[in-house]
Structures are given as structure tokens and as C-alpha cells.
Amino acid sequence: MSVSELELERRQILKEYRSLLSVVRPGTELTDRKRIRKAFNFAMEAHKDHRRKSGEPYIYHPIAVAHVCVEEIGLGTTSVICSLLHDVVEDTDYTLSDITEYFGEEVSRIIDGLTKISDIFEQTDSLQAENFRKMLLTLSDDVRVILIKLADRLHNMRTLDALPARKQLKIANETLYLFAPLAHRLGFHAIKSELEDLALKYTDPDIYSSISRKIVESEEERNRFIEDFTKPIKKSLEEQGLNFKVLGRTKSISSIWGKMQKQEVPFEEVYDIFAIRIVIDAPEDREKADCWRAYSIVTDVYRPNPDRLRDWISTPKANGYESLHTTVMSRQGKWVEVQIRTRRMDDVAEKGYAAHWKYKESKTTESSIDKWLYRIREILKTSEKDALDFIDDFKLNLFSDEIFVFTPKGELRTLPVGSTALDFAYSIHSKVGDQCLGAKLNHKLVPLNHTLKSGDQIEIITSIKQKPKPDWLNYVTTARAKGKIKTSLKEERKKIAEDGKEKLERKLKQLKIENTHENIQKLLSYFKLPAPLDLYYDFAIDKLDIKDLKAYLSDNEKGGILSYLRNPFGKSRISNFEKEQIDPIRQKLKEKPDTLLIGDSMEALDYTLSPCCNPIPGDDVFGFVTINEGIKIHRNNCPNAVQLMSKFAYRIVKAKWYTGKSIAFLSGIKIKGIDDMGILNNLTSLISSEYNVNIRSINIDSNAGTFEGNVMLYVNDTQHLNNLIAKIKKIKGVKQVSRIGK
């Protein structure tokens, strides 16, 4: 670069830095501003030779992360310093000792946490899950680690265009799998929505661009509707002397797409594309009263839907969210969602956890976050060694909405939707759960797996003779309950296994087999068991006996049967086994000029099209290397893509369609419409005769004048399928046609 270009770049960096300083809290002391400047200079020197994939100086990234931390999350000086330094230890020659020397223990501890979780998804599946657990342990120590990591991920998602397509997909799916739900659980609604939108941009770009375009096209009409709708509400609120502002907020693209899928309707038929938000400026002692006054005014002007009232003011969500939601019928005949909250509640809804620091007098919201962090610590303490089970259980609880139930004494408890009576027992205490014999729901006896609803009052019946049973794992949904049950079962299993160990030793002696570590490992391999404990347990309960040992001896004499690869469960063996299966495939791909070509008869690799999403030419796809079934081809927007790309990144291979010849691929369409004479004949005639498509199966159900059905058929590619769908939509009586799984 020329001297003038370097000077221009330096000025731009200083401009970005000054922009950061302008949003740092106005009351920040001079000493703190000097510390920020020191961190900026340190990061500048450390990253002076580094550039991002886009070609810009690397320092832009830490400055942007710090900007997000301050402006969008609301963090202070220490977090700004840590944001500026967050990649220094990982990417440069500086060490944690250097950070401690220059910036102190607190900054060093946070940087250490950020460094430990920076490569969370770069390893194989079990290591990813272990890193995730480490990240949560860090979260329970200092939540700022996760908040800075969220800011880091948000900026990475905003600048994802510079990366290759495969990397974009991987990062987008990781974001959907972990970071968006974490943002949701910590109450960062705006960040969660943006992360989901940006992820959709790369996992399903056609859907993203289509909805974005339609939102822009309908903006003028939507603004006119909002103005007409809010005019009488504003007038009534002013007459009541309330200090307020009314906002019309368009819902996020991912939220609209979710509603289109759930309701199976096109964009034009999603009634709540936007919501009206009334934000009231009220002192805390009048917040509830003023919100309900505003609710009364809105429902005086427009008729509400009685089934759509959501009161999160009386019972806030676990992440601190407070608001009144109601859906009312407008004068144009459209349902409109109205959200009513105070300015404090709005700050908490948008900025989540960090906003609680701004309103320290609000003890209820502070304690709800503290309770959630306490639950994390409890789950981490009681979780099994199987980290993959743990991550799935924990993520399930991250996503869950809450229900509110009561103890016999009237104490309110929050549980995830879908929780059972046994979940409730374990939420009280692990001993209550372990000894749970039954439950009374609203004074009536119910089984342990009875699903609870908001407002239920539950009394747990216990017995000191009761012990957890294996099938209890099917009765619970919360990670806490599952962890406690697994721990109890394991302890019980250990006691039984002690007897089994003595029994096995006697039988080995009887058959003159030495009781050595090596022989025990061979037995584990032969009987396909993961650990000695399982071997001893099976002998204790007579699942294995001396005849099985004799069979082992017989097979061992024949030789070649005791391969360690026969142990599919052993943690250390799985990694080697996977590598033996996957590495040859990856080597073949390296030897080829391009990625895996689907439909190429010369392709030497074994692959199949996955039935979960039925990909066809024209779909964006990837390959997933299975252990025993070769490569399976999935669509990028397959329902399973998020989990596969997030947890098994090592097994993902690039794939594209070979267009050299025409091949028929199985796909499916869903059709809805008015049940009319001859509709089925018209449909099959168009598909098989006029459009020359082979039908594999057709299933149509008729009910009260309407019909709905699925047709599985063979098409050449997405264009072929889209043309067919367009033709079917023109058949009289057909109201809706969509591809299955889209």
C-alpha cells in the first residue's frame, strides 16, 4: 500500500475509535477513558499486521464489538477494554500474563474466558459439547464473557459476506443452534432477532430476499394503516393524561417466515407482520396501573380477542421480560397485536440483562436472572459425562417458553412449557424428586408424567422407599430433572455393579482367564459395552453369564474377532473409528478438481439423497458423511441442517449438482383447496399427462367441503417443480400449493 493509502486507513481507524468513545457512558471518568485508550493502542499494535477476509484492517472488528457492547447491550468500561483485547491472546504472541500486567486481574479473567470458548465449534462433536459446557461454566462466573461473545458473533454475522459459502453456512447454523437462543434467554430480543435474520440470509437466501422485498414493497401501505389505526388510541391516551409514545414495529424476517411455515400461508396472509407498541413513561410504583389503564383505552377503541391476552406484567418471563400483549380487531377487519409496556420494561425487553443494571431498584427482575444463573450452575453440577446429551437438554430449556405453577402454600414457580409433575418435584429439591411417589394436581391425583399448565397447584407425595427408575427419564423435560435422575441411577448402578464385579472375578478364575485391565478391555469390546461398570452391572443382573464368557473364549481362539472397532460407544474409540471412515472420503474429495458431484455416474463415492428433505437439482445442498451409510445429501435449509452443521462440522463436505444429464428425483407437494367434483381427476391429469411427471404416491383427505393432500412425484430439478406448482395453482378450487419441507 502507498503512504497516502496507509494514512487514509489510519484516519479511518481513528474515526471509528472516536465513534466508540462518543457512545461510551457520558459519566465515564477520565481515568477510565485513559484505560480504554491504552487498550485501543495495545490492540492496534498487536493486530497491526492482521487483516480480515474482506481485506480491511483487523482492528475494525474489536472496535465494532466494543461498539455493540456499549450501544446495543449497555456494558461499561471493563467490557469495552475486554472487547478491544478479546482476540489478542488467541491471535498474537501476547499472553494472559501480559494482559494481567497491563490491565489487571479482572480484565485478564474475562479475556481468558473469551479465549477458552473462541473455538467452541472448531472440534469434533463431543469436543464441541465439552467446550459449550466450559462456556456455560464461565457464564455462571461472569456473564460479561457471554455478552461480549454475543457482540463478537453479531459483528461476525454482519460481515459474513466476505467468507466462502461453506463457511457462511457453518457459522449461520452455529448461530441458530446456540447464540440466538442464548440471546433470547438473556433477554436480548433485538440481538436475537437480528442473529436469526442474518442466519436466514445464508441458510435460505431466496426466502430471505423474497420476504425482505415484500416488506419494502408493502411499507407505504403499512404505514398508512398504522397511522389510521393509532390515531384514535393516541387521542384517548392524551385525554387520560398519560405520557407515552406509540411505535409501529415490523416483525423480524425470521419471525415472519416462522409464521408462514407454522400457519402454512403466504406472506400476504400473515396477519401480524407488524405490532403496535405503546411505551408509557411512568414511575415504578404506577407502572402496572398505567399499563392496565392503557389496555382499557385500547380495548375501548377496538374489540380484543379474549384468547390472545398475555399478561407478563403480573408474572414476568424468566429472562425479565415484562409487557401486556393483546390482539384487537381493526376497523379494516384485520387483527393487530398491541404491546403495552413502560419505558423501563422496554429497555429490559430490548437490552435484556444489561438493562437491569440501569434499574437496580427493581429487585424482581434482578432476582429472576440470578435464579436462572443459579439453575445453570445446578445443571452443570449434576450433568452426566455425556456432553452431547447435556447440550441437547440444555438447549431445549433455552428455547422453552414458561408456565407458572403454584406450590400447596401458594408459592409461584416458573417451569418450561411441557414440564411434568416429576419436573416440578425436582425443581423443589432433588430429594423430593428422588422420593416422588405421585402428585396431586388441584387436589386430584395425577401420574408423574402429567403435563402441567399455567395456574396449576401441585402437591408432591413422597416415600422414603421410592427410588428413581430408568423410565423416569421419559417423564421429564427439564435438564435439571434429567441430570438428577441420571446421577441417582448411576449411583444405584454402581452399588449393583460392585456385586457384579465380584461375580465376574469368580467366573474368570473358574475359566482360568486373568483378571487384567487388558482382558477387561477385550471383554468390553467383545460385548460392545462402553465401560467396566456396565460389564459388572450386566453380570450382576445375570444379563451376562459364564456361557457368554465361554463364547468369548471360543471366538477369541478363532482370532480376528476382537477388533476395537467393535466398540461403537467408547469415547476414545469413536474418534478413531470416525476418522477411519471419514478420512478416505475426504482424501478422495481432495484428489478431485471440485466438490462432490451429485448425479455423476462416474462419481466413485457412495452417496444417497436424504429422505428428511428430499433434495432435487437446483437446491443448495451439502454432504454429510455417515459412519456406515456413505454420504447423505441434505438441503441447506433441511430441518436437520442446523444440528448437523453445528455438532458434526468435521463430517460436512461440499456438494453440488452434476448437470450433465437429466435424472428424475423424488420430491413432494402439499395441496389444499375446495373439494369440488373432478378436482382429483384434474390434478392427476395435469401432473401425469399434460406435464409428463411420474407420481409415486398420492394421499388426499376431504373434510366438510375442503381437501388437503400430499403428492410424491419425480421431477428433474427445482425449476421443473416450480413450474408444476404454478400450473397446479391455476386449477379451479386449488387454494394453496407448497413444496413439502419448504
**What are the catalytic residues?**
90-91
* Cβ proximity of 150 and 188 under 8 Å: yes
- Contact (Cβ atoms closer than 8 angstroms) between residue 278 and residue 237: yes
| Residue (of 395, 454, 394, 448) closest to 426 by Cα position | 448
> Are residues 59 and 13 in contact, defined by beta-carbon separation less than 8 angstroms?
yes
Beta bridge partners of 707: 673, 702
Rounded to whole angstroms, the Cα distance separating 338 from 346 reads: 14
Q: Which three cell numbers stand for residue 682?
A: 384434474
Pairing of strands 402-406, 412-416: antiparallel
- Cα 435 to Cα 418, 460, 680, 690: the distances in Å are 22, 9, 58, 67
Q: Which residues make Cβ contacts (< 8 Å) with residue 545, sequence separation at least 6?
A: 507, 539
Q: Map 574-589 to HEC letters.
A: HHHHHHHHHHHHHHHH
Give the number of C-alpha atoms closer than 13 A to the C-alpha of residue 345, restricted to the C-beta side: 28
The torsion angle over the Cα atoms of residues 20, 21, 24 and 26, rounded to 10 degrees, is -150
Q: In what order do the strands lie in the sheet with 607-609?
A: 596-598, 652-657, 621-625, 631-635, 607-609
- Assign residue 484 a region: left if phi > 0, alpha if psi is -120 to 50, beta otherwise? alpha
CA distances from 539 to 23, 509, 534 (A): 67, 15, 9
DSSP code for 71: I
- Residue 283 CA to residue 303 CA, distance in Å, equals 29
What is the C-alpha separation between 48 and 37, in angstroms, rounded? Answer: 16
**Side-chain half-sphere exposure of 145, counting CA atoms within 13 A:** 23
Q: What is the rounded distance in angstroms from the CA atom of residue 735 to the CA atom of residue 670?
A: 11
Q: Which residue is listed with cell 459412519?
A: 627
User: 329 pairs with which residues across the strands?
Assistant: 303, 335
How far, rounded to the nearest angstrom, does the alpha carbon of residue 592 sit from its chain's CA centroid?
Answer: 35
